[in-house]
Amino acid sequence: MSEFAPLPGLEHEDVVVNGRRLHVASVGAGPVLLLLHGWPEFWATWLPLMRRLQGRFRLVAPDLYGFGRSDKPEGWRDDADGDMHAVDMAAIVDALGLEAPLVVGHDVGAFVAQRLAARFPEKVRALHFFDCPTPAIGRRWVEKGMVNEIWYQSFHRLDLAEKLVGHDRATCRLYFEHFLTHWCHRKDAFADALDLWVDNFMAPGALTGGFNWYRSMNARRVRAIAGETEETGRIPHRTRVLWGRHDPICRAAWADVLPEVFSDLSVGFAEEAGHFVHVEWPDLAAADIAEFVSAL
């Protein structure tokens, strides 16, 4: 059976926060895990993890604004950054009565989770990340050949990006197949999900919604590349990071900066994973979360 096949018991609802309608998928019962996706992702990226943890936790997976089934912007936005999404997630926690969930973040979701914990510490119990990009990475984004990996971040700032990627299903599939294979160490992890991804990103406004993240974060990215560090203070929540050893876009070696960001931290490495640990090796990912929660 496909990891991305329909999941029995999965519920979908729309929640309006800050004037934005956000889609939320949820399943299971027990302590709450708030699952924050990255790019190029949406709520369905968590299905493999949901299958394994729904018997132990209530898993709540919102689509960030601009992504998945949530509201989409009409065009270019440069304010859809980590802070905007963090404000939305704080409102989701309140609207759904989640109290202080364990927040699980990946990629974009990792940035959002950090801003959520920094700005609304009372709404977060603890943090768990699959890989963990942070502002502390700084100039490493363009060192040792990395500039050749992050080309898409500049490309997404062009109006041309939506026109090229969204020209038709074939161009959309080709574009996202690149990331869902190149960023994986287990190359077949998304093999049976490509049509689901194409359906998602061919929906009106979906490409713009995702690309706006890079438009909004560009000024911060340029400052980091210039070596300008951000003094944000360390996040005190207990934090666990499971980093894919072979991640080509968020290098495992960058885990050495995490103590600058988190004051109560443990780090492990998924030795056979790339960027998408939770999809490439969901058994490992689920076990890591369960072990982390049991020790809280």
Query: Is 163 within 8 Å of 282 (Cβ atoms)?
Result: no
182 as an active site residue: the answer is: no
Q: Alpha-carbon distance 197 to 227, whole Å?
A: 35
Do 68 and 39 touch, CB atoms closer than 8 A?
Answer: no
Catalytic residue among 81, 175, 214, 237: 214
Counted residue by residue, the chain has a size of 296
Active-site pick, 63, 81, 88, 107: 107
Q: Which residue has the tokens 């900066």?
A: 257
The answer to whether residues 153 and 120 touch, using CB atoms and an 8 Å cutoff, is: no
214 labelled catalytic: yes
Q: CA-to-CA distance for 88 and 76, rounded, in angstroms? A: 19
Q: Does the active-site annotation cover 152?
A: no
**Which residues lie closer than 8 Å to 128 by C-beta, 6 or more apart?**
102, 103, 104, 105, 239, 240, 241, 242, 288, 289, 292
Catalytic residue among 246, 275, 278, 288: 275
Which residues does the annotation mark as catalytic? Answer: 107, 214, 275
